Amino acid sequence: MCPVRVGVIGIGGRANHLASVLMHDEERRGDIVAICDVNEAALERGRKTVERVMGHGVATFTDYQALLESPDVDMVIVGTPDHLHHEMALAALGAGKHLFLEKPVGTNLDQMHDIVTAAKDSGKLMEIGYVLRYSPFYIEAKKMIDSGELGRPLFAQMLEQYYGGAPVFFRGWWRFRKNVGGIMVQKICHDMDLWYWLFGRPRQVVAFTSSMEFKPGNWDSTAARCSECDNHCPYYTTPNRARNHSDECLYNTDKTGADIADNAQVLVQFESGLNLSMGMNFFNSRGQDDRFLRIVGSEGEITGRLGEQVLRFDPRHDATLNKTVLYECAPGGLGGHGGGDEIQILEFLQGILEGREAKAGRESAYWSSILVMGAQLSADTGRVIQIKDLVEKYPFPG
């Protein structure tokens, strides 16, 4: 079977990683034939990498439209900043390409609806970078729900703590809300896709965001950048312009223009009646960096950390703990997002070869966005958002 001919638009961290997985796939389901970036140094690094690893040349572009015009490209990976997703996704689908779109699905509901509609109308396959569905940790949790092992899901709590997110999200393009649509849209759309997958359709959502740590006054400095600062904080860094590695102050957001929140709490009620709460923050202790899960079912309770790939199961009515078991979901050494990064892109390629959608296609794109953008709307307006209102305004295109 001929490999899928892949074009990569936006050679940043995420797309680079996906490309690397694809290039090292022993089954060779994909072949990178074209790459595009406005950063010519990154483009040149990408060209050399493809030539070294895949053993052939690659077409390079600084204009993504030119890449899309190439008849040699079957599928594109769009890994550009979030505010470009809408424009590029529509162009890619309009050009008749299968699409792997990094999350989120645009930065607002209008954009999401355009993208999902375009995917349906194009007849091409689309996959959103919701990698958590592909992590063995969550796959096992879903199996325990679907098999009845956990009983009826009754209650759920999730937490994401991301120490390393602070320097990422308060430097570079992520720090501007207009680029990401809000911290929840950018950061926990992953998780909301997961909840839809596990618990079905949501009924209502309420959320709160704030800036608790990364704001002026919480570090004794007035500098806009590390290179101008004489009181280095633990996030001190040196800039590397060639790699877009900047050194904006995480604290002095009045100087850097950062206007995103550094924490959020969300409460969702699903149509089943299940209530789920989730928190996320960027200021946790490093030793507590992870995604945490707790699902209480009618037959027992599972808890665990994504990074450990272990689910603890406590049977509901056993007080002795003698029946408590740790379920190991995967052997050690998994990669990003609990192994999801590696598995997803290859499953999408396999789906293209077999003419079928992978796991995070149009339906996933739609419902996760309805939920996360509803949560963002709640945080912005202070209202409880009824999901049916959003569905009426933005019906699922199919």
Partner 1 sequence: MVRFSGELLVDDDGQLVVKMPLSAMNPELFEIGLVEILEEFINRRVRVEVLPLEPRYERRDG
Residues at the contact surface with partner 1, assessed by CB under 8 A: 136, 139-140, 143, 310, 312, 324-333, 347
Smallest distance from partner 1 to CB 339, Å: 10
> Which residue number, 71 or 287, has a Cβ lying nearer to partner 1?
287
> Which residue number, 327 or 396, has a Cβ lying nearer to partner 1?
327
CB of 262 within 8 A of CB of 249? no
Q: Which residues pair with 385 in a beta bridge?
A: 205
The length of the chain is 398
How far is Cα of residue 356 from the mean position of the Cα atoms in its chain? 22
Smallest distance from partner 1 to CB 334, Å: 9
Q: Which residues have a Cβ under 8 Å from the Cβ of 293 and sit 6 or more positions away?
A: 137, 138, 141, 156, 157, 158, 302, 303, 304, 305, 306, 311
> Which residue number, 213 or 328, has a Cβ lying nearer to partner 1?
328
> Which residue number, 197 or 270, has a Cβ lying nearer to partner 1?
197
**Beta strand ranges found along the chain (DSSP E):** 4-9, 30-36, 59-61, 75-78, 98-101, 126-128, 153-161, 202-210, 263-270, 275-281, 290-297, 300-305, 310-315, 325-328, 385-386
Smallest distance from partner 1 to CB 313, Å: 9
> Which residue number, 139 or 156, has a Cβ lying nearer to partner 1?
139
Place of tokens 């759309």: 189
Smallest distance from partner 1 to CB 287, Å: 8
Smallest distance from partner 1 to CB 347, Å: 8
Smallest distance from partner 1 to CB 335, Å: 11
Q: Which residues pair with 157 in a beta bridge?
A: 277, 294
> Which residue number, 176 or 292, has a Cβ lying nearer to partner 1?
292
CB of 172 within 8 A of CB of 116? no
Place of tokens 């309009």: 94
